[in-house]
Structure 1
Amino acid sequence: MSIPVVDFSAFSLNVEDISTADLDHLSRDIRKAFTEVGFVFLDNTGITQAEVDRVMGASRRFFLQPDHFKKLFRRKTFPSCPLHGWIPIETERVNPETPGDLKESFNMTSLHPDIKWPSPEIAAGFQETQTAFFQRCKELSLRILKVMAHSLDLDPDVFLGAHRWIGTDDNTTTLRSLYYPPVKRELAKEGQLRCGEHSDYGSITLLFQDSEGLQVHERSGEFISAPCIPGAILVNIADMMQRWTNDKFISVLHRVLLPPAGDSTTRQALAFFVMPDDQTVITCTDGSDKYPPVQLSAYLAERFSYIYADD
């Protein structure tokens, strides 16, 4: 089964609101994708490829700086926002059973004006593009959540009301810039990947990628390669949303493979991890008790303790 492509133009960032007929049509397409595959490509969202390219360009300028410079902005450097900042290569193990991932990243989780950023002379446009893109992704995510609620015959506030504080210290929604440096396959450790098999943690994830390499786990048990569609956004369900919807929407494993032997190209991606507000207590929307109530902040703390076990 391939990942479906859905036209989101009826509720793109370029329109103020959506008609009931368009909302019904879009909801059917979204529900089908998220109940059967867990992933969907959204086209014509209002976020352009040119915007994505600008953010990736500024991010690349940061990642190409020497490590001694990037360490000034390392994760856990900012007491008020410990998730914010740079994460070196092989620091994360999103699959705790495998060696560290062959990627580095920069997490933007804070919009505070006092957060330290690389100077424009070193990484031109980095702060400006990250901040602006965060806001664009936030707005689009709220529209997607509204459609998702409608697809389940829920009041939109069931989801929207739990995401009121995105961009503040009361919410850990993160814009992550990812850089996968060149890899020599013969030097990689056994079982090592650019990003190990994992599922995401929160509500939904928006992914922008500049090349192929991502694979998605099918219900058949096999992995399929996700194509790279310029201008389209790959959106997937995360674990908390699956729990929230009592398994109606499915969160599935995915991974980023090593490049083929002899391929020395880099890979970049931007991931916008949408999280409910920290103090939100998630219970099944259908009133069942299949999953016990869980507070988002406690759940995330447990998950992060595994991927950063050696950090």
Structure 2
Amino acid sequence: MDIPTVDFSAYSLEKKEVSDEDLEILSQALKEAFTEIGFVYLVKTGISEEEVQRVMDISKDFFLQPEDVKQPFSRGSFPHNVHHGWVAMETEGLSPRHPGDLKEAFNVLLHPEIKWPSVKSSQEESFQDIHTSFFLRCKELSLRVLRVMAHCLDVAPETFLEPHRNIGEAFVNCTTLRSLYYPAVQSEHAKEGQLRCGDHSDYGSITLLFQSSEGLEVRSRANEFVAAPCIPGGVLVNIADLMQRWTNDYFVSVRHRVLLPPPGDSRTRQSVAFFVHPDNTTLITCNKNPEKYPPVTPVDYIAECLRSLN
């Protein structure tokens, strides 16, 4: 199984609009990827490697600080949004039967009263400004992908755009930008069954992933995990659970994981994920009959998934 690569330049962030002809071409390419594999690489999206690197660099500056400096920013410390903030090593396990994941993370949900780390880039850009700017860039790209996906299904663009109109409003939408840092690890010293990120599927509509190195694997229809390589300048986009429900299994949400490095490989790994969710009160109802899933709101579905991890 090879994850296809699609040139998205016809609808990149540098373009105000896309022609009907180009929309049809993109639609066919994404339809094939999302119905057969669940993943696709998009290149020439308008998000530059430099933008991604800025987020990774300032995130790494935060992650490399002592734990007592990071602790005040822990997830759950912010009354305005309990999901915003730092996640320490091994405190999160996406495969509940295995030890905690060997990664750190910082979740970003936009809210004017949330506290931010004080680290700054070499150009004196703040952690908050860099992450907020990148969040909004990912939002715009996500809406364009969702519009193409609506075209795949021969439905009006607003079918997916309207339920995502509040992305960036933390009280009414759970869309999250997540910076991830995987420290160097000696695989032979890891606990039995431990990974950098356990086997899981994503909860929302779609996910955009920017990665710095290898390690991600995607499960194929043959139930085998295959490598999802790092493509410079590429954005790896995948279908998440709610979108699979929404389309009555037409688009497929596929499980994936991040392996430990091979013995002797001491490299760190970074990635930045943008988890796109519909607005909290959206009722996700299958778009075809017979309906394979009962209606559910994003808030209820996420709560159910989080309970299953405990």
**What TM-score do you get using the length of structure 1 for normalisation?**
0.96
Match of 1:266 among 262, 265, 268: 268
Q: CA deviation at 1:227?
A: 0.9
Match of 2:210 in 1: 208
Match of 2:229 in 1: 227
Q: Distance in 1 between matches of 2:238 and 2:111?
A: 28
Match of 2:291 in 1: 289
Match of 1:112 in 2: 111
Q: Which runs of 4+ in 1 moved over 3 A?
A: 120-124
Match of 1:179 among 174, 178, 181: 181
**What TM-score do you get using the length of structure 2 for normalisation?**
0.97
Q: Distance in 2 between matches of 1:91 and 1:288?
A: 40
Aligned partner letter, 2:113:
D
Q: Distance in 2 between matches of 1:305 and 1:176?
A: 21
User: Is the contact made by 1:91 and 1:100 (CA closer than 8 Å) also made in structure 2?
Assistant: yes
1:170 equivalent to 2:169? Answer no
Q: What SS does the aligned partner of 1:292 have? A: coil
Structure 1: give runs of 5+ residues left out of the alignment. Answer: none
Q: Larger deviation: 288-297 or 137-146?
A: 288-297
User: Is the contact made by 1:213 and 1:226 (CA closer than 8 Å) also made in structure 2?
Assistant: yes
Match of 1:26 in 2: 26
User: Is the contact made by 1:73 and 1:117 (CA closer than 8 Å) also made in structure 2?
Assistant: yes
Match of 1:76 in 2: 76
Give the 3 Å change call, closer, same or farther, for CA 202–121 of structure 1 in structure 2: closer
Q: CA deviation at 1:287?
A: 4.6
Q: What SS does the aligned partner of 1:166 have? A: coil
1:153 equivalent to 2:140? Answer no
Deviations 1:214-244 (A, max 9, x none): 0000001111101110101000000110010
Q: CA deviation at 1:124?
A: 5.8
Q: Distance in 2 between matches of 1:237 and 1:121?
A: 34
Match of 1:91 in 2: 91
Q: CA deviation at 1:288?
A: 3.5
Deviations 1:252-275 (A, max 9, x none): 110000001111110000000000
Percentage identity across paired residues of the two chains = 61
User: Is the contact made by 2:6 and 2:42 (CA closer than 8 Å) also made in structure 1?
Assistant: yes
Q: List aligned pairs for 1:233-252, cutoff 5 A.
A: 233-252=235-254
Q: CA deviation at 1:286?
A: 2.0
Q: CA deviation at 1:165?
A: 0.9
Aligned partner letter, 1:299:
Y
Q: What SS does the aligned partner of 1:56 have? A: helix
| Number of aligned residue pairs | 307
Structure 2: give runs of 5+ residues left out of the alignment. Answer: none
Q: List aligned pairs for 1:192-203, cutoff 5 A.
A: 192-203=194-205
Deviations 1:126-157 (A, max 9, x none): 11110000000000000000000001101111
Q: Distance in 1 between matches of 2:98 and 2:286?
A: 32
Q: CA deviation at 1:61?
A: 0.3
Q: CA deviation at 1:125?
A: 2.8
